Amino acid sequence: MCENVQLICALCRVGAYSLYRRICCKGPPPVRPNICVLCLGLSGVGKSSLLAMLSGDDFHKVEPTIGFSIKAILFDECILEVKELGGSDTVRQFWDRYYQGMQGIIFVINSTGTDEELEYAKTELRKALDHPSIRGLPLLVLANFQNQPGAKTADEISKFMDLESETNKRQWTIQGCSLDDKEGTQSGFLRFNEFLLDNMEKRAAENGAGEINRV
């Protein structure tokens, strides 16, 4: 029931945007593909706040995600339907139940974390990426809290997490981000979205469905 309500809210947001475009732009908005992606990360890394900021919600009043939540994030080239999963010990054991049908993965990391905490995040990321249901899907790593003292850079996080080893398995990118830099955070999605759209086109070609509509 909770999932249905969250999905309805996300779709209402998309519908409201379409209505705005019809009124203000004197015509329907161009058709953009909807892409389902999963957002993972340990507890306290700021997943919910980042998604709220990107979707235009008030991120100052965000509560930690206990089970999962759904956000619709609008981009010029596509609409991301993001299912965010809680990062607590009790929820992580059920992450793989939500992998089916996903088209991309977002993994959020606390860039101010200790080496021990980052090693833990690395282990959980590897465990997720090795699952057959999401193996090979495009990956976006968000190194959050870049505005905090002692934060490791995106390059430092990439080396620590050994993300280069994913080069031959999937398309991936990493972006340093924070809640006070929406534009910078969005820039990380530009390449990620290209990966997602390329992947959709390849699958469409394999299935004989032709090209997808790019805006």
- Stronger pLDDT, 66 or 41, i.e. the higher one: 41
Q: For residue 21, what pLDDT is reported?
A: 47
- Residue ranges and CATH numbers for the domains of the chain are 32-206 (3.40.50.300)
Which residue pairs from 178-182 have beta carbons closer than 8 angstroms and sit at least 24 positions apart in sequence? Answer: 178/144, 178/145, 178/146, 178/147, 178/148, 179/46, 179/49, 179/50, 179/53, 179/59, 179/147, 180/147, 181/146, 181/147, 182/53, 182/54
Place of tokens 């996300």: 10
d(CA 120, CA 45): 13
* pLDDT value at 51 more than 90: yes
Prediction pTM value: 0.82
Segment 155-184, tens digit of pLDDT: 999 999 999 987 778 999 999 999 999 999
For 3-20, what is the mean pLDDT?
49
* pLDDT value at 206 more than 90: no
d(CA 198, CA 27): 28
